[in-house]
Amino acid sequence: MHHTSLLLALLSFLFLGDAAFPDCEPKPCGELTVEYPFWLGGPNHNQSSSSSGRISCGHPAFEVWCSDDGVVSLSGTQILVLRIDYSSSSLVASHKRIADGNDGVCKTDFNISSSVVLSPFKISRSNRAICFLNNCNGTEPRGFGLFNATSGGCAKPVFAYLGGSYDRENPPRIPTGSCTYSYQPVLGSAAPANLTAPTNYSRLFKEGFLLEWQRNGFGDCAACNASGGQCRHNNDTASFACLCSDGELRRSTCAGEYHLPS
């Protein structure tokens, strides 16, 4: 090794050593493992262990909170994270409003899609869509596969219609009377073949729905990792950073690209 590169390596170790970077080891919450592009934030979490200076463990849009009882949510919203599949850039989420308790079907008068509109996630088309009609006050249409979904706990009747694959832009166009129309995604694998038989909507809502994020849209973490680096987010440049074993941050991987001339 050149004297200059040895000196640079030593300097970068001194200036960019442990103290300068947060510890971004994968962090457990409940049964989940939180790692890039996700990162733990929120009131229950010591911020300095997820970020330091300009460097953060994950992308700003992927902040999750971990509650005392090990429940992961998208930055404290009602969207709960049940499973994360890093290799397929997808996660299974549920909406607390309808997943909690056993009367979720009585609270279906909203669209989950409006909760995730600002996030980097897309509701997968592999979900099934179920339409709900609330507040009909007797105006519910008849005779086209609309089922009475009212459960014992509901103050007002609720009606359900099983749509095809979930498409945010093209919700099933069914007659709606003067009812409040909403449509919810449920896991394709959990959806019933029809609503003729009694359907446990609470169980469906607890099982959640699939969200996807753009693969490599937030940096190619797998490539960085495969080159021996760890994935980070640089807030200054709002971009992906690969932290290499020499303590240097590089833009994509630890192979080939040098931060400083040697």
Ligand X SMILES: *[C@@H]1O[C@H](CO)[C@@H](O)[C@H](O)[C@H]1NC(C)=O
For residue 4, what is the enclosing H or E element? helix 3-16
Residue with tokens 């932290």: 243
Name which of 54 and 259 has its Cβ closer to ligand X: 54
What three-state secondary structure class fits 3? helix
Q: Nearest distance from residue 60's CB to ligand X, in Å?
A: 4
Q: How many positions of this chain bind ligand X (CB under 6 A)?
A: 39
Among 68, 197, 256, 261, binds ligand X (CB under 6 A): 197
Where does this chain touch ligand X (CB under 6 A) — which range of 92-100, 108-116, 119-127, 251-259?
108-116
**Whole-number Å distance between alpha carbons of 198 and 192:** 10
- Per CB under 6 A, does 102 bind ligand X? yes
What three-state secondary structure class fits 236? coil
**Whole-number Å distance between alpha carbons of 56 and 34:** 13
3-state helix, strand, coil in the chain (%, to 5): 20, 30, 50
Among 225, 227, 252, 255, binds ligand X (CB under 6 A): 225
The binding site for ligand X (CB under 6 A) comprises 25-26, 35-36, 46, 48-49, 51, 54-56, 60, 102, 109-111, 137-138, 148, 150, 157, 171, 180-182, 192-194, 196-197, 200, 202-203, 206, 221, 225, 230-231, 235
